[in-house]
Structures are given as C-alpha cells and as structure tokens.
Amino acid sequence: MIERTFPPLPTPPQRGASPAASDAELHRAVQRAAAIPDGLALLEGAPLECAAVLLGLTPAALERVRAALEDGRTREAARALFARAAGRLPEAPARMDAPPSPPRDGEALLSAARRRAEGLALLLGAWPECAAIAFGVHPDLVHAARELARRRGLSQDHLPDA
C-alpha cells in the first residue's frame, strides 16, 4: 500500500491579520450608517455583503471597520459620532408622502438602476440578494433585470462610464 502525503491545508487568515481601519474609513462608515434607520446595527452585525452594499463600502473595508469596533474606546467614539451624525439628519415631516413604489418588472428595475449613482454596477455585479435589498425588490426580479440587460449587451464589464 502506497501512503500519500498531502501538503497541509492553508490556515484561514486571522481577523487581526488585515490592516486596521483608518480613522477616515471608520468615520465614513459611521456617517453612512447614521443615514440609515438602524444603521449602527447594520454596521455592526448585518451579513457582511449586504451591509457593505447598503453602506457603499467594500466587504474588506467593512471587515476592517468591524475589527476596529471591537476595541472598547473606538466603539464608544464611533457611537458618539453616530449619535452626532444621526442628530444632524433632518426631522421627518409631519405628513409623510408614500415612498415610491419599488420596480415591478425588469425594465423598471433597469431604469431605477440607471437613475441611481452606480446603480447599474450594483444591479449587475452584487449578489442578487444584496441588489434586491438595495432596490427593495425580490431577487427573482434582479435575475430578470440581469437577463434583460444581458440581451441588450449590458454587463458589469461593459458598463458605460459615469
């Protein structure tokens, strides 16, 4: 019987192995979180890819920010910054108009993506579930819009410059 030896499996990177979040990166993430209802909970604990899409960060940047928030002093400073930033947001009007209805078909979703800054990149490149959350639609509609875009020659690699 021949005994085969295999090289050891690579060890997964340790959380502390990635570079620390810069103050500017942490500040930007907290400011963006303050503009979203329950943004601090989103920043700290939502699924990584979804939170990154909603906050406009890369998953790697969000991981660095989350690692920085594990430090007690940094966490308290971030909470104070969040409270100040959330306090600067305009008060909700007494009478709120109904929010615009989400797109109901692939064509409407493509149009909504074109109107949004980097919306086509988000629609065509993010995980379908993340794009669905960002646009307030079902992932099946994201797939339908992607198929429509593909038939029109649009892809993540061939997006028009903004």
User: pLDDT digit string (tens) for 111-162?
Assistant: 999 998 888 888 998 889 988 988 989 999 999 999 999 999 887 765 655 4
Give the distance from CA 95 to its chain's centroid. 30
57: which 2 tokens? 């960060």
C-beta contacts of 38-43 below 8 A and 24+ residues apart: 39/82, 39/86, 40/79, 40/82, 43/69
User: pLDDT digit string (tens) for 65-109?
Assistant: 999 898 888 888 888 888 888 776 545 555 555 567 889 999 999
Percent of the chain with pLDDT over 90: 23
Which pLDDT does position 16 carry in this prediction? 45
pLDDT at residue 9 above 70?
A: no
Closest CA to 103 of 143, 138, 153: 138
**pTM (2 decimals)?**
0.48
Closest CA to 132 of 53, 56, 78: 53
Which pLDDT does position 12 carry in this prediction? 47
C-beta contacts of 77-80 below 8 A and 24+ residues apart: 78/26, 78/30, 79/40
Which pLDDT does position 139 carry in this prediction? 93
Beta carbons within 10 angstroms of residue 108's beta carbon: 16
All residues at 6 or more sequence positions from 151 whose CB lies less than 8 Å from its CB, including other chains: none
Confidence of residue 15 (pLDDT cuts 50, 70, 90): very low
Which pLDDT does position 17 carry in this prediction? 47
pLDDT at residue 10 above 90?
A: no
First vs last C-alpha separation in the chain = 63
Which pLDDT does position 7 carry in this prediction? 59
Which pLDDT does position 104 carry in this prediction? 92
57: which DSSP letter?
Answer: -
More confident residue, 37 or 73: 73
Q: H helices within the chain, ranges in order?
A: 23-34, 39-45, 48-55, 59-68, 72-87, 106-115, 119-125, 128-135, 139-151
